[in-house]
Amino acid sequence: MYLYKATCPEIPNPKQKSSRCQGGIQVQGLSQGRLVKQAPAGPGSRPYAPLMLWTANQPNRGAQLKQLEEFLNFHSLSLQDTVKSHTGMVYRNLGKSGLRVSCLGLGTWVTFGGQITDEVAEQLMTIAYESGVNLFDTAEVYAGGRAEIILGNIIKKKCWRRSSLVITTKLYWGGKAETERGLSRKHIIEGNNALTGDFPPLASFSKFSFASLCPSGLKGSLQRLQMEYVDVVFANRPDSNTPMEEIVRAMTYVINQGMVMYWGTSRWTAMEIMEAYSVARQFNLIPPVCEQAEYHLFQREKVEVQLPELYHKIGVGAMTWSPLACGIITGKYENGIPEASRASMKSYQWLKEKIVSEDGRKQQAKLKELNHIAEKLGCTLPQLAVAWCLRNEGVSSVLLGTSNPDQLTENLGAIQILPKMTSHVVSDIDHILGNRPCTKKDYRS
């Protein structure tokens, strides 16, 4: 490398390039007095300019792109031969981190290890993966840990490259013991290392005996997933019993140990997220990059008012869940509670009460009006609802929860509707819903 500091008369015009020769090696002089060496051409020279000279030698983006293609072709790669180009999937950064996630992800809440069989779970993951989905979300509490085992077994069976996946899990509810829940350093890190190898068949355990057998904490999740690391671990709710510094230090520790790449929050308030960020900056620790929040046509305040401010100030993104409001937006509850639906399950009595309430009936009336907009756009109501969530640029990814392949295929089709979500369409939806939250910009205007 050549270090060179130019005096004022020697600085060339930005529109010109000067060159001089030093020791038989041509040195390209650039504006701002920066020099880059270039080896002389020879029989073994490459048919493209060195990567460091692209910006200097190419006056326009088209020429740079062409030279980039030549560089990739030389290494048997291609700009077109990507999952994105084959599937049409849209990828976004998770907050202001460098992690690229599919704008649609597959969640495992209620379904994996509970509402659906392992065979259906494998079908869903296969459809999602082949459609370009790289984000799969689970938690230690889902089905008492069985959701993590099913997810890990399918990935292992499919032999998918671990580097092509973004696996996220959540910690808080780990077990019945007082030390097996919360966000203490002990619970975040802990796992029973005695449980190694393949787990016994799930059918041999009842729901409660299985939950008592499986270790809690991140190490326990890694054992169930049969992975060395997860990409993101979420604190599944705030913990008032644990100091914030202890939580942030524990998350920083598991990242430094290679057990996880990033950490985030779920169901945290904006104030709690800001406190975690402040603690991280004060003690030179790692702050959260993402908040998991509920977001759909009838739940808007947090994602549209609070999280955008956090994103611009500290880079925290949004990964949203329940885009169809636990199935309410699909319209299947218009004429009652179907037998195989989520609201018919004993543990979801609260959902049934919500549907049959006066507010629930008002929501069903609004959905009928929204269905007319969906028909004009040539899509279904669920596709419109998912595309409506995606039209928010502050949303990094929307987690889908489906119980059969047809539902998943339909929901994935929302990506095709996204370009049709114009400001006029969004305005019509806001007019029907009548629940658009007021932002600071609205107050200023």
Q: How far is CA 55 from CA 11, 16, 40, 48, in A?
A: 18, 14, 19, 13
Name the one residue in this structure whose structure tokens are 């913990």. 239
- Give 176's strand partners: none
The single residue of 142, 172, 311, 333 carrying the catalytic annotation is 142
Residues 386-406 as b or e (16 or more Cβ within 10 Å = b):
bbbbbbbebbbbbbbbbbeee
Q: Which two tokens stand for residue 102?
A: 């599919």
**56-62: long-range contacts, CB 8 A cutoff, minimum separation 24:** 56/17, 56/28, 56/30
Could you give the CA distance from residue 166 to residue 169 in angstroms, rounded to a whole number?
10
Strands 317-321 and 290-294: parallel
> Kindly report the CA angle at 125 between 119 and 131, in degrees rounded to 5?
140
| Nearest residue to 333 via CA among 380, 376, 368, 298 | 368
Could you give the CA distance from residue 144 to residue 407 in angstroms, rounded to a whole number?
25
Could you give the CA distance from residue 368 to residue 375 in angstroms, rounded to a whole number?
11
**142 in catalytic set:** yes
Give me the helix-helix angle, 358-377 and 381-390, nearest 10°: 90
Question: From its phi and psi, is residue 190 left (phi > 0), alpha (psi between -120 and 50) or beta?
Answer: beta
Which residues are annotated as catalytic?
142
